[in-house]
Amino acid sequence: MPLLELKDMSVAYGRIEAVRGISITVEEGELVTLIGANGAGKTTTMRAISGIRPISAGSIWFDGNDISKMKAHERVLHGVIQAPEGRGVFPGMTVLENLEMGAYARVFKTKAEHDATLGRVFELFPRLEERKSQVGGTMSGGEQQMLAIGRALMARPRLLLLDEPSMGLAPMVIQQIFKIITEINDSGTTILLVEQNAQQALSRSDRAYILETGEVVTTGEGKALLADPAVKQAYLGVA
Amino acid sequence: MSTETTSTVAHLGIGDRFRLWWDALARPTQWAVGVPFIVLIALLPIIKPPVLTTVGTDFAGVLAQFGMYALLAIGLNVVVGQAGLLDLGYVGFYAIGAYTVGLLTSPDSPWNQTDSWLSQKWAWLFALPIAIAITAISGLILGSPTLRLRGDYLAIVTLGFGEIVRLLADNLTTITGGGRGLSRIAYPIVGVSESRPTGYFSAGNNQAPITSGVAWFWLSIVLIIVVLLVVGNLQRSRVGRAWVAIREDEDAAEIMGVPTFKFKLWAFLIGASIGGLSGALYAGQVQFVIPTTFNIINSTLFLVAVVLGGQGNKLGVILGAFVIVYLPNFFLGRTELFGIPINGNEIANYKYLFFGLALIVLLIFRPQGLFPARQKLLAYGREVYVAARRAALALTRPTSDETTGGSR
């Protein structure tokens, strides 16, 4: 049984369908990527999985349960956690307060458990520990992205949704973020990643789906897609 | 990066400086400073300091009105400042509070209860919790359908709500008395004596030193402190954290697991109850309600108090309310200021013009208000705040990792 399964899911904005009947599965422990051009429906798909955008047809299954009608904040309790596009860091809160917000819905049994989770985040992102009393809105793009991912980890995700973590970042920072994403995945967290940076994303993914105007056009193993001539031409800028 | 943080420390406003100073004080010192300060404020209408006092109108009456506006500002601040929901029809709750007391205790009202189960003497006091409850319910009724809207759409709907309440009061003539209003509303009958045949709180009591204005001002100070304690505790709780998150980014808050709709409704309900409390005070003090008091201009004025004082800052909005109430009354009846002849009454008449201009200037140059809320909004209590302050001071010293930027 896959951890996440989208069955013929459609999402519409008014009469315009942004996502048209896509079916996607993510197995426990996998790192799966959705790639596609602007307007392909990637972010809409992520918003629908998180529950902040209602779906118009089809269904979303998580861990064997139909969560299509479940409220966004309830999905968080089941472990569906997203680091949203554009980072969505709370600009007026400090780094530490942002991280604590990430654990808002999570009940820590002991203080030690809380400290261990926070320690793990700081271990992945030492930068956040240095900056922990700085206000979120004054941080650089890379730091905000780290904070968004760190905040999502505070909730102990069973499925981590990352929406364009590389957006607007310098190449060196992108490298670093992807390294950490792989590390998170290696330690057992299932990840669904949305990316435009196909090179980085595909080379690190178990599997990938390519979206075009709201539909899945190709799917396969990450590295296999990297070698696919059509993919190369469309997403990697190779003629 | 560190240059940025350095400058934020250098640019600490009055509010932040005050907070740093206050938070650094020990608890007993806070009491030792706070209590005499409140007593001093309470004694203002009796001392009548020559610089502050008003000439054209009773100073105590002005302060009593300030007390009510301060409550309104605190209540509206919960909605606008803390949860970030723009409510332009807040006057509606003020009206519902005032009319509930009016309808229950005025002999003009068909629902007057003072001759049945409400005792004449305690009628106002009994009507008070009923007024608060009914306003809370009206907040729930307004909030449940409309809080699905956001931003400007919510503002428009609430604007409509304020007008609906006023128009109902104006047109349900057989119940509310329409434009004639409801008179002889009950007030607390306390301290009846020969010189004050109707007690301290009666509008007819102008026996110095404790006139009706002073009595109502003192009562409102007590209520303000109670409300501040409640709101302050909420702010430091999970509810307060949820409000901050909703205000900063509603979608992000929802995917952090915050039930945003529920907490927005709570903010509305709490804000409405405080507005209803203030309305009940108003009805008791003036002993008379008419629909024109609750027009849209007044609703805007409440919002001006909140924006002027600094959204999200409880004490700031109280100062905002003071400015809104005090300034027009200060000019009323004045013929000269610093030796310059002025027509104070005219200036007071144009208060909406001046407040409008002041608001525009403020929003251009200081959009966060005169006394903005601190940047660190969350609620870890004093310890963390002091720790954060230490960190901020440490940042003023140059750090070695300056050059590594975000790439480390």
Just give the CATH number of B48-370: 1.10.3470
Mean pLDDT computed over every residue of chain A? 91
Tell me what the mean pLDDT of segment A134-150 comes to.
90
Count of domains observed in chain A: 1
Mean pLDDT of B81-96: 94
| B27 lies within 8 A of chain A by CB | no
Per-residue confidence (pLDDT) for residue B378, from 0 to 100: 41
Please check whether residue A50 is in contact with residue A223, taking contact to mean a CB–CB distance below 8 angstroms: no
pLDDT tens across A35-84, in order? 988 888 999 999 999 999 999 999 999 999 999 999 999 999 999 999 98
Q: What is the pLDDT of residue B11?
A: 56
Has residue A194 got a pLDDT over 90?
A: yes
Cβ-defined contact of B8 to A138 (cutoff 8 Å)? yes
In this model, does residue A18 exceed pLDDT 60?
yes
Average pLDDT over residues A109-114: 89
pLDDT, position A46? 95
Q: How many CB pairs under 8 A join A and B?
A: 106
Residue B252 to residue A88, Cβ atoms within 8 A: yes
Q: Which pLDDT score is estimated for B196?
A: 83
Token digits of residue B245: 């998150």
Mean model confidence pLDDT for chain B: 85
Q: Do A126 and B407 touch (CB under 8 A)?
A: no
User: Within 13 Å and on the Cβ side, how many CA atoms surround A56?
Assistant: 13
Percent of chain B with pLDDT over 90: 50
**pLDDT score for B13:** 64
CA distance B305 to chain A (A): 22
Average confidence (pLDDT) over B95-102: 96
* pLDDT at A167 > cutoff 90: no
Distance from the Cα of A171 to chain B's closest Cα (Å) equals: 10
Give chain A positions within 8 Å (CB) of B3. Answer: none
Binding-site residues on chain A for chain B (CB distance < 8 A): 50-52, 71-73, 76-77, 81-82, 84, 88-94, 97, 100-102, 104-106, 126-127, 130, 133-135, 138-143, 151, 155, 170, 172-173, 176
Mutate: best of A95, A97, A114, A172, partner B, most B CBs <10 A: A97
- Mean pLDDT for B75-93 is 94
The residue segments making up the domain with residue A188 are 4-235
Residues of A in contact with B387 (CB under 8 A): 133
Instruction: Tell whether the model's pLDDT for residue B2 goes beyond 50.
Output: no
**Structure confidence at residue B374 (pLDDT):** 63
B297-309 pLDDT, tens digit per residue, is: 999 999 999 998 8
Given pLDDT bands bounded at 50, 70 and 90, which one contains residue A191?
very high
Inter-residue contact B293 to B29 (CB < 8 Å): no
Confidence (pLDDT) at B67 = 96
ipTM: 0.89
Domain boundaries, given as residue ranges, for chain B: 48-370
- A107 to A92, A100, A110, A113: CA distances (angstroms): 24, 11, 9, 10
- Residue partners of B67: CB distance under 8 A and separation at least 6: B216, B217, B219, B220, B221, B223, B224, B281
Query: By CA distance, what is A50's nearest residue in B?
Result: B255
- Predicted TM-score (pTM) of the model is 0.85
Q: Is the pLDDT of residue B48 over 90?
A: no
> Does the pLDDT of residue B202 top 90, yes or no?
no
Is the pLDDT at B6 greater than 70, yes or no? no
Q: What residue of A is the nearest CA neighbor of B4?
A: A138
pLDDT of the residue at A96: 93
- The rounded percent of chain B whose pLDDT value lies above 70 is 88
CATH assignment of the domain containing A124: 3.40.50.300
The two tokens of residue B34 are 């706070």
pLDDT at A226 over 50: yes
B80 has a pLDDT exceeding 80: yes
Q: Given pLDDT bands bounded at 50, 70 and 90, which one contains residue A126?
A: very high
